[in-house]
Amino acid sequence: MSRAPEGALDGLIARTALGDRAAFEQLYLATRSKLFAVSLRIVRERPLAEEVLQDSFVNIWRRASDYAAAKSAPMTWMTAIVRNRSVDLVRRSREEPDVDDTLVANLVDEAAAPDREALARGEAHSLGKCLAELDAEQRQTIALAFFHGLTHSELAAHLRRPLGTVKTHVRRGLMRLRECLDRQGVRA
Amino acid sequence: MRLSRDAAQALAAEYVLGTLRGPARARFASLASRDAAVAEAMRRWETAFAPLAERLQPIEPPARVWRAIESRIAPEASRRASFWKPFGVVMGGLASVMLAFFLWLSLAPAPEPMFQAMLMSPDHTPRMVVAMFKPDSLRVKMMHPWKDMPGKALELWAIPKEGNPRSLGMVSNEAPETMVRVAENDSRLQDAKAFAVSLEPMGGSPTGQPTGPVLCSGAISAVRRT
């Protein structure tokens, strides 16, 4: 599956807003596997991830005309819709959540080696740099939460740390991230 | 709920990260829909985290997902598609549309048009009025132009009761009015029941049929022969 450039996705969303079914299908084809991966990481169960993708695209069809006002890149806008739906639907209790620690460990390396588009926007590079500035524990906690949608208590169980400590890692980690991104001019 | 800037920032970050859950999550989402500053903080965090999601290895969803999406949007899609068959006139917002229409007609010079059509986009925004005042031309009045369409142009089509759309010519998005030349008793207008405008490459459709999306359309109203 080829990756449509962001500019092309913009056009497809605009045509979707006009009720153009063919454009909507192209939009789905161009983004489904990325967005399915985003959801599956969080909800872990395929049937649930399928439900998320379905709900999200019905939502994208209905809200396509709001997209222009969102002022985000197309993938950012759609990813947010999928992530939010995933977080809403994830329901299992996870005493010992099934997480991909390699992904989390590679986070900084990967984020520091961004793809060309993100590099052109200057965002990925800043994010990688800023994540590298965090304490190892803060970084790990934030990555676990982001990729796997873990709650505070799930994070605490997985990391075998007290709940309060985990909450502090998340809060301080995000605060430092924001300060760093502000310095880099990303203004998160 | 009134939040300090710092508190709103912190909650926006935890919302986007996903650690804000339950009723607090729903409350914050509803706050964001009412408070532009909160929505903006949320958007910035989404943008900041976007490169992370890009790192994930794509996973192909099964084909049944698309089928399910299609069936869920089907009623809406066919309703929207019905502007190709514009006799199914949607009543929503019609009052304001007609007001704008008659306002324009009242400013238009006599005599009354021989026929006319109000072209609306799928969201029922009135876009233009096509009217024939003289047998050799159509007057296209732009009411609500599109913001920008780089490298694209608007093509006007006559939709006959049966058969394919017939191209009538290009319409300017920028000019308040475009005159489209037609022949007297133009065959393209025979049996025409509606007009539609599609988005095409500069210079018009290369195939002679609409290639881009239909941006607006409208039924031709009762012909008033003078």
Helices (H) and strands (E) in chain A, counts: 12, 0
Mind telling me how many Å the CA of A20 is from chain B's nearest CA?
Answer: 6
| The two structure tokens encoding residue B96 | 């304001």
Question: Which residues in chain B (201-220) have CB-CB distances under 8 A to chain A?
Answer: 213-215
A109-122: b (≥16 Cβ within 10 Å) or e: ebbeebeebbeebe
pLDDT in tens, A22-42: 889 999 999 999 999 999 989
Under an 8 A CB cutoff, do B10 and A174 touch? yes
Cβ A97 vs Cβ A158: under 8 Å: yes
Query: What average pLDDT does this structure show over B17-45?
Result: 90
pTM over 0.80: no
Mind telling me how many Å the CA of B98 is from chain A's nearest CA?
Answer: 22
pLDDT in tens, A141-180: 998 899 888 999 989 998 999 999 999 999 999 999 999 9
What DSSP state is assigned to residue B220? B
pLDDT in tens, B159-188: 888 778 889 999 999 888 888 988 888 888
Q: Which range, of A54-58, A83-87, A117-121, B149-153, averages the lowest pLDDT?
A: A117-121
Residue B50 is predicted with a pLDDT of 86
Residue B144 is predicted with a pLDDT of 86
- Is B82's pLDDT higher than 50? no
Higher pLDDT, B88 or B126: B126
A27 touches chain B (CB under 8 A): no
pLDDT range class, residue B79, cuts 50, 70, 90: very low
- Is A109's pLDDT higher than 80? no
Helix, strand or coil, per DSSP, at residue B167: strand
Mind telling me how many Å the CA of A15 is from chain B's nearest CA?
Answer: 7
Q: Which of A3, A40, A174, A181 to mutate to test the interface with B (most CBs of B within 10 A)?
A: A174
Residues 6+ apart with CB under 8 A from B186: none
Residues of B within 8 A of A142 (CB-CB) are 17
How far apart, in whole angstroms, are the C-alpha atoms of residue B185 and residue B205? 24
Residue A51's beta-bridge partner residues?
Answer: none
- Helix (H) / strand (E) containing A128: helix A123-133
